[in-house]
Amino acid sequence: MKDERGKAWDSLPNERGYFGDFGGRFVPEILAPALDELTKAYRESVVDGEFSRRLETLSRDYCGRPTPLSYAQRLSEYLGGARIYLKREDLAHTGAHKINNALGQGLLAERMGKGRIIAETGAGQHGVAAATVAALLGLDCRVYMGEMDMQRQEPNVFRMRLLGAEVTPVDSGSKTLKDAINEAIRDWVTNVDDTFYLLGSVLGPHPYPTMVRNFQRVIGDEARIQIREAAGSLPDLCIACVGGGSNAIGLFYPFLGDETELVGVEAGGLGLSTGKHASRFNDPRLGRPGVLHGTRSYVLQDEDGQILDTHSISAGLDYASVGPEHANLRALGRATYTTATDDEALEALHTLCRLEGIIPALESAHALAEAMKRAPGMSRDAIILVNLSGRGDKDLGTIMEKLGDEL
């Protein structure tokens, strides 16, 4: 897989886990041997036909893959420009793309003989996916979740508990995803021998960004085939929301060698000028390269290098850093990153509900908002592929609060 300049995208990362200047392994020494063990086990699993077959079988029979590609006809006509296709990760088991990675890592945990998995979660989608896989494979599961996220994603907390996972509230710092990751890492350093850390995004120390990408690339691999069948050609534009960035890299990665434009959408929150957002790339006052949770990437931080609290209506995008491979794609100019505000995401969500009968997750609604901005300016022959990364049932409480009076 090479781009037009002959650059081999699939040669990244290097041996030390670097995508250009980003990535690496900035962890306490106690975790380094565990990461070496994980890297070795992951590499072995990749060349083990039996492992791949089991993952494929469960992806099909349990997760419901391949997920469909839907042509959003009424939305496209309403916008009056490009044809918009939706990759329906909302229809995967548990209602989001997170299951792809959770299943892959869960099987790896089983293969490594670890009887206990831990996970962090923001929106709760990764926590639910981890709890689901733990139930499927008979593993103990503890999920760390910020107290603030537990309040705004209450149904998911109950789902995880129903599935047999222990949900541990995290009341330190901003009580959101970053604090949940801190606490999961503290658990891991304490129980490193028998515990597998099932990290939910393309974040953290090497090999996580690579491993999670490879478990998520099924999204783009499927979509690339499906869109050729449905539309007769590759898309002009791929759009995905970017918190940590796993659904986005999963969609983008198989298209890196193509002509297709790739756009990631960050949470613009209350607007970039307010400082209340989660845009690592588009607010140079606050977002610059740094190290958080084991990887070097763009990080929202104050002038002293303290990590900033973020804001987004969507818990899944509410994180101060972003996957290192995205930082590299941006540096190389291969992908661009824009923002959608809370209000734009809500508007896009409402539009999709009424025109297509699909309630998207608030996260995915950020990607839709960008599609709605771009489509009217493109020709009717043009094709936009949007990753509909999750369904919105979990967000009904938040949506009711915001839109309830209008209905």
Partner 1 sequence: MGLESIRQVFAKTSAARRSAFLPYFPIGYPDYETSLDIIEGMARAGVDAFEIGMPFSDPLADGPVIQAATSTALANGVNTRRCLEAVGELRHRGVEQPLLLMGYLNPILSYGVAEFAADARAFGADGLIVPDLPPEETAILSTPCARHDLAMVQFVTPNSDEARIAAADENATGFIYVVSLKGTTGARESVSEGLADLLGRLRGQTDKPLVVGFGIGSPEHARAINGLCDGFIVGSALVNAARIPGDAQRLAEDIMGALVE
Of the ranges 114-122, 182-190, 267-275, 352-360, which one interacts with partner 1 (CB under 8 A)? 182-190
Rule CB under 8 A: say whether 214 interacts with partner 1.
no
Interface residue with partner 1, options 9, 12, 19, 25 (CB under 8 A): 25
Residue 189 Cβ vs partner 1, minimum distance, rounded to whole Å: 6
Rule CB under 8 A: say whether 124 interacts with partner 1.
no
Q: Could you tell me which residues come within 8 angstroms of residue 133 by beta carbon, excluding any fewer than 6 positions away?
A: 99, 102, 103, 105, 106, 117, 139, 198
Query: Which C-beta is closer to partner 1: that of 248 or that of 286?
Result: 286
Rule CB under 8 A: say whether 299 interacts with partner 1.
yes
Interface residue with partner 1, options 45, 76, 101, 182 (CB under 8 A): 182
Interface residue with partner 1, options 1, 10, 21, 32 (CB under 8 A): 32
Residue 320 Cβ vs partner 1, minimum distance, rounded to whole Å: 9
Structure-block tokens of residue 343? 């209000």
Question: Cα dihedral sign for 206, 207, 211, 212?
Answer: negative
Give the C-alpha separation, 264 to 280, whole Å. 12
Q: Could you tell me which residues come within 8 angstroms of residue 344 by beta carbon, excluding any fewer than 6 positions away?
A: 268, 366, 369
Per the CB < 8 A criterion, the answer to whether 149 and 180 are in contact is yes
Active-site residue set: 98, 120, 389
* Number of residues near partner 1 (by CB under 8 A): 37
Give the C-alpha separation, 99 to 390, whole Å. 11
Question: Cα dihedral sign for 349, 351, 353, 355?
Answer: negative
Query: Which C-beta is closer to partner 1: that of 304 or that of 405?
Result: 304
Per CB under 8 A, contacts with partner 1 among 303-332 are: 303-307
Q: Which helix H or strand E contains 335, and what residues bound it?
A: strand 335-341
Rule CB under 8 A: say whether 155 interacts with partner 1.
no
Per the CB < 8 A criterion, the answer to whether 260 and 223 are in contact is no
Give the C-alpha separation, 185 to 37, whole Å. 16
Of the ranges 101-109, 264-272, 298-306, 346-354, which one interacts with partner 1 (CB under 8 A)? 298-306
Measured distance between the N- and C-terminal CA atoms of the chain, rounded to whole angstroms: 49
The single-letter DSSP state of residue 65 is: P
Rule CB under 8 A: say whether 115 interacts with partner 1.
no
Q: Could you tell me which residues come within 8 angstroms of residue 135 by beta carbon, excluding any fewer than 6 positions away?
A: 141, 163, 164, 165
* Interface characters, 184-213, with partner 1 (x: CB under 8 A): -xx--xxxxx--------------------
Structure-block tokens of residue 74? 């009424």
Tokens 């990244």 identify what position? 12
Rule CB under 8 A: say whether 290 interacts with partner 1.
yes
Query: Which C-beta is closer to partner 1: that of 63 or that of 199?
Result: 199
Rule CB under 8 A: say whether 34 interacts with partner 1.
yes
Q: Which residues bind partner 1 (CB under 8 A)?
A: 16, 24-30, 32-34, 172-173, 178-179, 181-182, 185-186, 189-193, 289-294, 299, 301, 303-307
